[in-house]
Amino acid sequence: MTDLADVLVIGAGASGAVVAWALARAGRKVVILEQGDWIDPSTYPQHRADWERFRQTTFNRDPNVRKLPEDYPVDVTDSPIDPLMFNAVGGSTIHWTGHIPRFRPSDFRVKTLDGVADDWPLDYWELEPYYDANDAYIGVTGLNGDPSNPPRTPRTFVPPALDATGEAYVRGLEKLGWHWWPSDAALITRPHGTGRLGCNGCGPCDIGCPIGAMSSAHVTYVPDAIRHGATLITRARVRELVLDDRGLVAGAAYYDRDGHLQVQRARVTVLGANGIGTPRLLLNSKSARFPSGLANSSDQVGRNFMFHPVAVVRGVFEEHLNSHQGPVGALINSQEFYETDPARGALRGYQLQLVRDSQPVGAALGRGPGRRLPWGKGHHEAHRKEFSHGLTIVVMAEDLPESHNRVTLSTTNTDAHGIPAAKLTYTLSQNSRALLDHGIARATELLEASGAHTVTHDRLTRVAGWHLMGTTRMGTDPSNSVVDRWGRAHDVGNLFIVDGSIFVTSAPVNPTTTIQALARRTADWLVDHFEEVAG
């Protein structure tokens, strides 16, 4: 047994880092357990000549491909999409593209507006000050004035001017008269914070930013939490949460980096282990009081899993666009098809995320919706016509929650310490399929309007599971939700969940800024009500 902490945070990624920072600043004794370790930026693949190979192997975003000691397998036999996540200080924000559009007000009222899913137990306006505070703290690049979203506080940094890639996109958007706006990006364009340099446009942001320009958790909230007194324990694999005789969480049993079983006690426990890791831990934390898993009297833990299903559409141009260079995922966003339109034959909508194109090896291999180039004679000539001559559009659809899409425990796979792994059961709905098909048609139209002579697409991208949501959703009714409007478990009064698993609906946009805004809101409430919660 270790000393008693005020707050135990499990996971040092986007959400757990926020709560650890806030509670440490408030003077609470905070301990963070992180399954991975610090990663030295000098070891990122960009420093190697064969960096693209490492993106596909040991620095892959899929734990089933990486198979590192700190990973655990996920059974995806019954899913057409692979979940992507990373175990390290900073979590999956190391593999982030930094695209952080906010939810719109309508995203919190899906039941009211469209008669499906459920409304959130809070609205955009309640969350807005936390969006603003998070943006100001981490450093965000963007422009105010987007007519498709509510007004917001000034962005910290102005984005770079449009280059040839951006101008080609805009050429088509303006011709069609569609909405477009520079993406809000979680990166900085001049020095900001301790040791962080401005973005130099090198490009492969999704394999770690070696200069700290990307506003990832390991260069923002985590170091500041430690400066305020938080203790971070890395290579700590949590086996289960343990209870006291009152049925409250007393702490966590975990294996340390040497494989020894330890127990960290705490008055309050906060989970930020992502939409698969959090339900996995709760389901593994069975007891006589909770035989179906901790906080699972509603049988909702693991259910209502949501991805953001993605189709990718690519156009090839005669002109050289330098389209591989620059921030990967935060260029231009079009929300022309964001809200429900009955003419599409589907509810809700999608975003068109206009991103960078393939890197050299990716272009040669025809990765993404490209065409595999000929090997041998003609390869170099074909590569010259393809590489940096393409534009790529990501069609990201809103996924509606369905009870049968769920995370359960695998009966065959375990992690390196024998703890049951996660099994994902997911079916792409007809609604999501219809949204993707509509988006493919519109993206094709856009690329042709921009001047593409050839357009290809992937109808559903398997390697697209960046966003893991809905598996411990919030709500006011304990019979059909896991946590309340503050992320507090209905069944266990001193247990909080702050990652994407608490989402009620997914919206058609990237979730990280909403995850962090919700985490800041929960942390503020917990600071004010700590003694009441901790007993």
Give the separation between CA 406 and CA 276, rounded to whole angstroms. Answer: 9
DSSP secondary structure, 155-212, as one string: PSBPPPPP-HHHHHHHHHHHHHT---EEPPBSB-SS--STTPPPP---S-GGG--TTS
3-class SS of residue 7: strand
Question: What total number of domains does the chain contain?
Answer: 1
Which residue type is seen at 284? Answer: N
What residue has token string 């988006």? 439
DSSP string, 331-398: SEEE-TT-S-BGGGTBSS-EEEEEE----HHHHHHT-SS--PPPSSTTHHHHHHHHTTSEEEEEEEEP
Q: Is the dihedral of CA 441, 366, 355, 347 positive or negative?
A: positive
The DSSP bridge partners found for residue 251 are 242, 265
Within-domain flag for 384: no
- Report how far apart, in Å, the C-alpha atoms of 171 and of each of 179, 226, 252, 314 are: 12, 47, 55, 16
CB 5 within 8 A of CB 29: yes
Whether 375 is covered by a domain: the verdict is no
User: CB of 411 within 8 A of CB of 75?
Assistant: no
Inter-residue contact 184 to 510 (CB < 8 Å): no
> What pLDDT is stored for residue 358 in this prediction?
80
User: What is the tally of helices (H) and strands (E) in the chain?
Assistant: 12, 16
pTM: 0.96
How far apart, in Å, are the Cα atoms of 334 and each of 177, 238, 354, 396?
A: 11, 41, 8, 11
Report the 10 Å Cβ neighbour count for 343: 7
202, part of any domain: yes
Residue 150 and residue 128: Cα distance in Å, rounded? Answer: 10
Q: Does 374 map to a domain? A: no
In sign, the C-alpha dihedral spanning 180, 186, 187, 192 is positive
pLDDT beneath 70, residues of the chain: 1-2, 367-368, 370-371
Per-residue confidence (pLDDT) for residue 167, from 0 to 100:
94
Place of tokens 């600043």: 25
CB neighbour class for 225 (10 Å; exposed up to 12, middle 13-18, buried from 19): buried
Which of left, alpha, beta for 34 (phi over 0: left; psi -120 to 50: alpha)? beta
CA distances from 132 to 23, 135, 272, 359, 389 (A): 19, 5, 21, 34, 37
- Print the domain residue range for 64: 5-357+389-534
Would you state the pLDDT for residue 193? 74
pLDDT at 43: 87
The answer to whether position 371 is within a domain reads no
CATH no. for residue 345? 3.50.50.60
E strand or H helix that includes residue 317: none
- Residue-wise pLDDT tens digits, 397-434: 999 999 999 999 999 999 999 999 999 999 999 999 99
Structure tokens at 154: 């000034």
Predicted local distance difference test score (pLDDT) of residue 464: 82
